[in-house]
Structure 1
Amino acid sequence: MDSSLLKVFVAVANEKSVSLGAVQIKLSQSNVTLRIKQLEKNLGYALFHRVPKGVILTKEGEKLYPFALEIVKKVEEAELYMRNISHQETLRIGTSQANAAIRLLRFIEKLKKKYPNMELEFFTSGTPQVIDELLDYKIDVAFITGNPNHKDIMVLRKFNDDLYLVESNTKKSQNCLIGYRHNSTHFKYLESYTKNRGNIDFNVLIIQNYEVMLGCVEAGMGKAFLSKAIIDKYGYTNRLKLTKLEDNECNLETHLVCRKDYVPMIVKDLKSGF
Structure 2
Amino acid sequence: MDLIALEIFAAVAQEGSATRAAERLQRAQSNVTTRVQQLEESLGCQLFVREGRGMALTPAGQRLAGYAERLLALAEEARQAVCSDQPSGRLRLGAMESTAAARLPGPLAQLHAQWPQLVLELRTGSSRPLADDVLAHRLDCALLAWPPPGLEDVEVPLARTQVFTERLLLALPAGHPPVTGPGQLQLDTLAAFARGCTYRRIGEDWMQRALGRAPRVLELASYATILACVAAGRCAGVLPHSIRELLRTPPPLQWLDLGECPTMLVHRPGYDTPALAALLQALRPHAPTSPSSSLS
TM-score, L = length of structure 2: 0.71
Name the CA shift for 1:183/1:82 in 2 (closer, same or farther; >3 Å): same
- Aligned-pair CA distance for 1:142: 2.1
Instruction: Give the deviation of 1:230 after TM superposition.
Output: 1.1
User: Percent identity between the aligned chains?
Assistant: 23
Count of aligned positions: 266
Conserved in 2, the CA contact under 8 Å of 1:175 and 1:203? yes
| Among candidates 203, 213, 218, match of residue 190 of structure 1 | 203
Cα drift, residue 47 of structure 1: 2.5
User: Partner of 2:93: helix, strand, or coil?
Assistant: strand
Aligned to 1:170: 175
- SS of residue in 2 equivalent to 1:110: helix
Shift of 1:227: 0.9
Partner deviation per Cα, 1:175-229 (whole Å, 9 max, x = no partner): 3211133432111222233234345474433332323322321221210111111
Q: What CA distance in whole angstroms lies between the structure 2 residues aligned with 1:127 and 1:259? A: 15
Gaps of 5+ in 1: none
Q: Distance in 2 between matches of 1:175 and 1:65?
A: 42
Amino acid at match of 1:45: G
1:157 aligns with 2:157: no
* Structure 2 residue aligned with 1:22: 21
Aligned to 2:261: 252
Give the secondary-structure state (helix, strand or coil) at the position aligned to 1:254.
strand
1:218 equivalent to 2:231? Answer yes
Shift of 1:128: 1.6
2:218 match:
205
Correspondences of 1:108-123 after superposition (within 5 Å): 108-123=108-123
Q: Which amino acid aligns with 1:269?
A: Q
Deviation at 1:120, TM superposition (A): 2.4
Work out whether residues 177 and 224 of structure 1, in 8 Å CA contact, stay in contact via their aligned partners in 2.
Answer: yes
CA gap 1:244/1:22 in 2 versus in 1, 3 angstroms: same
What is the RMSD computed on CA atoms of the aligned residues?
3.7
How far residue 33 of structure 1 moved from its aligned partner, in angstroms, is 2.2
Q: Is the 8 A contact 1:155 1:258 kept in 2?
A: yes
| Aligned counterparts of 2:144 and 2:161: Cα–Cα separation in 1 | 11
Matched-pair contact (CA < 8 Å) for 1:11–1:24 = no
Q: Which runs of 5+ in 2 are unaligned?
A: 149-153, 178-185, 287-296
Alpha-carbon deviations, 1:128-156, whole Å to 9, x = none?
Answer: 22222323344343211114675542323
Q: 1: distance between equivalents of 2:221 and 2:64?
A: 39
Give the partner amino acid of 2:86: H
Shift of 1:104: 1.2
Which deviates the most, 126-135 or 19-28?
A: 19-28
Partner Cα separation in structure 1 for residue 208 and residue 59 of structure 2? 47
Contact preservation (8 Å) 1:94, 1:143 = yes
CA drift at 1:105: 0.9
Name the aligned partner's letter for residue 281 of structure 2. Answer: D
CA distance in 2: counterparts of 1:37 and 1:47, whole angstroms: 9
- Matched residue, 1:134: 134
The code of the aligned residue for 1:123 comes to R
The Cα offsets for residues 38-75 of structure 1, whole Å up to 9 and x where unpaired, read as: 2344x37343474768555487x789777666544433
Which residue of the partner structure matches residue 273 of structure 1? 285
Q: Residue 125 of structure 2 corresponds to which residue in structure 1? A: 125
State TM-score, norm by structure 1. Answer: 0.76
For residue 230 of structure 1, what is the aligned residue in structure 2? 243
Counterparts of 2:171 and 2:34 in 1: how far apart (Å)?
Answer: 57
Give the secondary structure class of the aligned counterpart of 2:166: coil
Cα deviation, residue 166, structure 1: 1.1
- Change in CA separation of 1:165 and 1:69 when aligned onto 2, cut-off 3 Å: closer
Distance 1:31 1:86 in 2: 34
**Contact residue 166 and residue 263 of structure 2 kept, 8 A:** yes
Where does residue 45 of structure 1 map in the other structure?
44
Matched, 1:79 2:91: no
